[in-house]
Amino acid sequence: MSGQLVSIQKSTVTFSPNVGKGTREAISSILGMKEVASYGTYLGLPSTIGSSKKEIFVFLVGRLKSRIEDCKPKLLSKAGKSVFITLVLQAIPTYAMQCFKLPIATCHELNAQMAHYW
């Protein structure tokens, strides 16, 4: 044992939508933790995955589009565009793909955005 303790004040609990309100309140009070609906994101990825994975990974497509809009494509040569796609655009979904299996529709959308940029 390391002697470390759990900080109850910083701890939270989340429940499935199938758990009733009374059960939620009882468990929360027994544990002494407050209930949260979602934990949001951690390291840029959603911490909880719901039933629609396609909706969850829309942020990747949005991030890719914003990077393309930030870059001025007309100012780059073909070699510059190739480097930009390889080093910047393909790196955006890499971490998410290591953690989750992306839906095929999301992969197609990411590829379409990169192809449209070219």
Q: Bigger pLDDT: 59 or 22?
A: 22
At residue 73, the pLDDT reads 66
Residue 87 CA, chain-centre distance (Å), reads 20
What percent of the chain stands above pLDDT 70?
93
Cβ-count burial of 45 within 10 angstroms (0-12 exposed, 13-18 middle, 19+ buried)?
Answer: middle
State the Cα–Cα distance between residues 99 and 4, nearest whole angstrom. 29
Whether the per-residue pLDDT at 97 is higher than 70: the answer is yes
- Which residue reads 């497509």 in tokens? 61
Length of the chain: 118
Whether the per-residue pLDDT at 44 is higher than 70: the answer is yes
At residue 51, the pLDDT reads 65
**What's the Rg (C-alpha) of the chain?**
21
The pLDDT of 20-33, averaged and rounded, is 93
Whether the per-residue pLDDT at 47 is higher than 80: the answer is no
38 close to 14: Cβ distance less than 8 angstroms: yes
The pLDDT of 93-102, averaged and rounded, is 84
**pTM of the predicted protein model:** 0.57
Distances, alpha carbon 52 to alpha carbons 5, 7, 103, in Å: 36, 33, 10
pLDDT tens figures, 55-95: 778 888 888 888 888 877 667 788 888 888 888 888 888 88
Secondary structure in 3-state letters for 47-105: CCCCCCHHHHCHHHHHHHHHHHHHCCHHHCCHHHHHHHHHHHHCCCCHHHHHHCCCCHH
At residue 22, the pLDDT reads 94
